[in-house]
């Protein structure tokens, strides 16, 4: 009996770890398809993406000669993200859950600073400010937004979006932008950005912190970033991240986690009311890029390093945070399963959690 695609690729990973590259190449070549399109099954497409990425680690010329399908990466990944979210309702639901928690906290404050780590195009922030404006118990009169992002185009687009909205809001909004990565910003810089006249602080990070790379032989960089955020004394922190361990250095474990997670995601996308060609674009382009990064890039540079929710909870606890009461979840879209527990809202599909929203406060006894 022929092994399944999963079993064959798991064996190839094991062969690579044993330095039996010749045997691994034979398996990988077999699963790199000459053409992929909307008719390609999910296992075959997932196997193609993983095989192509692994083969590029072994011999890029073999990929070039074997695979005549040339991926067209002319669409920026951030734009693909918003397309992907239409097929993946958990994305916007995660934004809504975090925004409800943030708006409830901000509404209590006359002046408040929102630190947005990885603002993207500003869609979530726009929705948050609109929600705050409608809040029935709002006392807020001034909002300072500190937007951090490594892409200048994102900062420009988000600034335009927020400033366009600001004139229609019942409170003032001041926006400051900072180009760069949160892990490279010292606490003194962040404290200087916050200033002293804009009230208390809330922090949001959506689908950003899993890009933080470990230092050489040091897996504590993310925890150090969270400690830095705790030192700023926030009233509330919301963190949104996929729930799967692709931070794992072990190749076979990473492959297993990747296969399980993206198999579930691809099945979810198949259920979306979209044309097959659109679903294929989301799988092959958006998630294909992530998978290629997970397996086709040196461990020193790959940036798609999702972690399990339990690991994020542990990191947050070490940094001085504890779970806050998550907001009640209303208007749950079809295909979404929601469970709340201990400061975490789990967003799943068919019994498997895919995304988590972590709602956190400083632990008792912690402070600035």
Q: From 42, 5, 1, 21, select the one nearest 283 (Cα to Cα).
A: 42
- Give me the phi and psi of 237, to 5 degrees please: -130, 130
| Alpha carbon 45 to its chain's center | 22
The answer to whether residue 15 is domain-embedded is: yes
* Shared domain check, 313 and 202: yes
pLDDT at res. 354: 97
Maximum CA pair distance of the chain?
Answer: 70
Does any domain span residue 234?
Answer: yes
Instruction: Specify the pLDDT at position 207.
Output: 95
- What pLDDT does residue 222 have? 95
The predicted pLDDT at position 204 comes to 98
Given a contact cutoff of 8 angstroms between Cβ atoms, the answer to whether 49 and 37 are in contact is no
Tens digits of residue pLDDT in 242-283: 999 998 888 999 999 999 999 999 999 999 988 898 899 899
Q: What is the pLDDT of residue 198?
A: 79
pLDDT at residue 62, as a whole number: 47
At 329 the pLDDT is: 85
Nearest residue to 359 (alpha-carbon basis) of 344, 339, 349, 340: 344
38-41 contacts: CB < 8 A, separation 24 or more? 38/276, 38/277, 38/279, 38/280, 39/276, 40/280
pLDDT, position 169: 97
- Verify that 182 and 285 share a domain, yes or no: no
36 and 136 co-located in one domain: no
> Are residues 284 and 351 part of one domain?
no
Q: Same domain for 63 and 133? A: no
pLDDT number for residue 347? 97
Residue 207 lies in a domain: yes
Residue-range definition of the domain harbouring residue 21 = 5-70+269-296
Do residues 49 and 151 share a domain?
no
Per-residue pLDDT at 60: 59
* Whether residues 191 and 148 fall in one domain: yes
Low-confidence ranges of the chain (pLDDT < 70): 1, 60-80, 82, 197, 216-217, 366-368
**H or E element, residue 168:** none
pLDDT at 217: 64
My answer on whether 45 and 141 are in the same domain is no
| 113 lies in the same domain as 163 | yes
346: in domain: yes
Q: How far apart are CA 349 and CA 175, in angstroms?
A: 37
Burial of 94 (0-12, 13-18, 19+ CB in 10 A): buried
- DSSP lists the bridge partners of residue 340 as 345
- Secondary structure (DSSP) of 286-350: IIHHHHHHHHHS-TTT-------HHHHHHHHHHHTEEEPPPPPP-SPPTT-EEEEETTEEEEEET
Q: How many domains does the chain have?
A: 2
Residues 249, 216: contact at Cβ < 8 Å? no
- How far does the chain reach from its first CA to its final CA, in angstroms? 62
In a domain, 162, yes or no: yes
The answer to whether position 77 is within a domain reads: no
Q: Residue 357 CB: number of other CB atoms within 10 A?
A: 29
The candidate with the shortest Cα–Cα distance to 143, out of 202, 188, 97, is 202
Q: How far is CA 192 from the centre of its chain?
A: 27
Same domain, 288 and 320: no
Q: Are residues 318 and 224 in the same domain?
A: yes
Q: Which pLDDT belongs to residue 64?
A: 44
Residue 78: inside a domain, yes or no?
no
pTM: 0.89
| Residues 154, 279 share a domain | no
Is 262 a domain residue? no
Strand 172-179 with 344-349, pairing: unpaired
């Amino acid at each position: 009996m022929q092994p399944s695609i999963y079993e064959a690729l798991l064996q190839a990973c094991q062969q690579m770890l044993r330095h039996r590259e010749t045997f691994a190449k034979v398996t990988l070549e077999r699963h790199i398809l000459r053409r992929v399109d909307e008719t390609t099954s999910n296992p075959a497409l997932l196997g193609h993406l993983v095989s192509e990425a692994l083969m590029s680690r072994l011999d890029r010329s073999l990929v070039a000669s074997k695979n005549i399908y040339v991926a067209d990466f002319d669409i920026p990944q951030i734009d693909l993200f918003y397309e992907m979210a239409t097929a993946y309702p958990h994305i916007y639901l995660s934004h809504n859950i975090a925004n409800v928690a943030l708006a409830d906290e901000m509404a209590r404050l006359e002046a408040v600073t929102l630190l947005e780590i990885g603002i993207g195009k500003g869609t979530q922030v726009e929705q948050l400010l609109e929600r705050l404006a409608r809040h029935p118990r709002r006392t807020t009169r001034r909002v300072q937004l500190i937007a951090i992002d490594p892409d200048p185009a994102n900062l420009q687009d988000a600034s335009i979006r927020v400033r366009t909205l600001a004139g229609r809001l019942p409170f003032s909004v001041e926006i400051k932008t900072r180009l760069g990565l949160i892990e490279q910003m010292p606490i003194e810089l962040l404290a200087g950005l916050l200033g002293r006249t804009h009230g208390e602080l809330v922090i949001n990070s959506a689908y950003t912190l899993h890009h933080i790379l470990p230092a050489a032989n040091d897996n504590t960089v993310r925890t150090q970033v969270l400690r830095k955020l705790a030192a700023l004394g926030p009233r509330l922190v919301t963190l949104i991240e996929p729930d799967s361990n692709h931070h794992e250095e072990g190749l076979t474990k990473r492959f297993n986690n990747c296969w399980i997670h993206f198999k579930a995601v691809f099945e979810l996308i198949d259920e979306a009311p979209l044309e097959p060609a659109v679903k294929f674009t989301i799988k092959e382009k958006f998630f294909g890029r992530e998978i290629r990064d997970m397996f086709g890039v040196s461990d020193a540079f790959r940036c798609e390093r999702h972690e399990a929710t339990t690991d994020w909870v542990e990191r947050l606890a070490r940094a001085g945070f504890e779970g806050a009461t998550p907001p009640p979840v209303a208007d749950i879209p079809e295909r979404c399963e929601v469970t709340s527990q201990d400061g975490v809202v789990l967003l799943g599909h068919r019994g498997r959690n895919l995304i988590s929203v972590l709602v956190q406060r400083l632990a008792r006894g912690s402070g600035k």
